[in-house]
Structure 1
Amino acid sequence: MTNDTVIAATRQWLERAVIGLNLCPFAKAVHQKGQVRYVVSQATTPEALLEDLQAELEYLRDAEPNETDTTLLIHPHVLTDFLDYNEFLEVADAAVTDLDLEGEIQVASFHPDYQFADTLPDDITNFSNRSPYPTLHLLREDSIDRAVAAFPDAASIFEKNMDTLIKLGKPGWDELMSR
């Protein structure tokens, strides 16, 4: 698996699922403007991933927002087990704090086996956060604030996503991703 293959699969997921199903109404604009940075980590340990995460947090902090608005840090070789990944999210949040980036950047989570609390593993609603590879999504909070202000009912996004995925169903998801 090459970096190009990993990025292509992630981009396809972003275009077909996240944007195509409108799971995130804010994603289309930054994608069309080329402001999404795709980074493939070669880390094979959580410690190495933490180093890559810190570097990307610093990169995003220092980058011009009109050049790089958000980063997808894809890590196909580490934290492939969802429970391990989920535990690492506390480490990711601590890295944001340690770099004094609270209120500036936040980390969202995507994983091939993502599972919300109180759902079964095969529940279709989990697919709103299922990506081809484990991925840490670094977001500028200013961008989130602007997007939420422009979206009339941002609080309804989660419920709308659940409805969309339930109507689509697993066969529909599989077809969408295999095209």
Structure 2
Amino acid sequence: MTDSDPVIAQVERWLQDVVVGLNLCPFARKPLRARQIRFVVSEATSDEVLREELLDEFQLLDRTSAAEVETSLLILPTHLRDFHDYNFFLTEAELLLKREGYEGIYQIASFHPHYQFANTEPDDAENLTNRAPYPILHLLREESLERGLENYADPDSIPHNNILRVEALTEEQKRLLFPYLFL
């Protein structure tokens, strides 16, 4: 894992320009600036290998302080490129989290180039809030998330505000912020 890795560079740019730049996650700026985000490029080509990598990341977070690694992004450049397969794997990931006793300790947020919320059309702007250059499993520390939410005036407004932000983007802005969607 180095900054010269093109996969990591693309994900970092997405974090800076989209997640932080559009303020889709009001809690992302601080760990990004402090370099407390761990970027891991998965080598998985099967769900079994990915489950092992996911467990390794949970265990690494166990051994590492939040001051050193606040959150981890497990990036999947070659596996689960189909959103339905990815979505199916999320169920397995949640079961792993529970089975290993990490429920209430960690949380998994999901991002995918073809992310689609239930009851939306593929081209609905709100899907952009969870679209990333690659499938990503974002591992969050529950304690940090709770602390951030306590200090945020109206956390329930975040999803709605995010939808308004991405709906307000022009086609040109979408092409600049999400070039991987227009290949």
TM-score range, shorter chain: over 0.9
For residues 114 and 176 of structure 1, the distance between their equivalents in structure 2, rounded to whole angstroms, comes to: 15
Matched with 1:130 is: 131
Residue identity in the other structure for 1:127: L
Could you tell me which residue of structure 2 aligns to residue 116 of structure 1?
117
Q: Deviations over 1:5-42 (max 9, x none)?
A: 11000000000000000000000011111110000011
Structure 2 counterpart SS, 1:168: coil
Higher helix proportion? 1
TM-score, normalised via structure 2 length: 0.93
**Number of residues paired by the alignment?**
177
Match of 1:175 in 2: 176
The aligned residue for residue 94 of structure 1 is: 95
Q: What letter matches 2:121 in structure 1?
A: L
Superposition TM-score, scaled by structure 1 size? 0.95
CA contact (8 A) 1:82 1:113 kept: yes
| Deviation for aligned residue 1:129 | 0.3
Other-structure match for 1:147: 148
Q: Over aligned residues, Cα RMSD in angstroms?
A: 1.3
In structure 1, give the amino acid aligned to 2:40: V
- Partner residue in 2 for 1:105: 106
Identical positions, percent: 45
Gaps of 5+ in 2: none
Per-residue CA shift, 1:48-99, capped at 9, x if unaligned? 1111001001111221110001000001111100000001001111111121
Shift of 1:157: 0.2
Given that residues 124 and 170 in structure 1 are in contact (C-alpha distance below 8 angstroms), is that contact kept between their aligned partners in structure 2? Answer: no
Letter in 2 for 1:36: I
- Unaligned runs of at least 5 residues, structure 1: none
User: C-alpha displacement at 1:173, in angstroms?
Assistant: 1.6
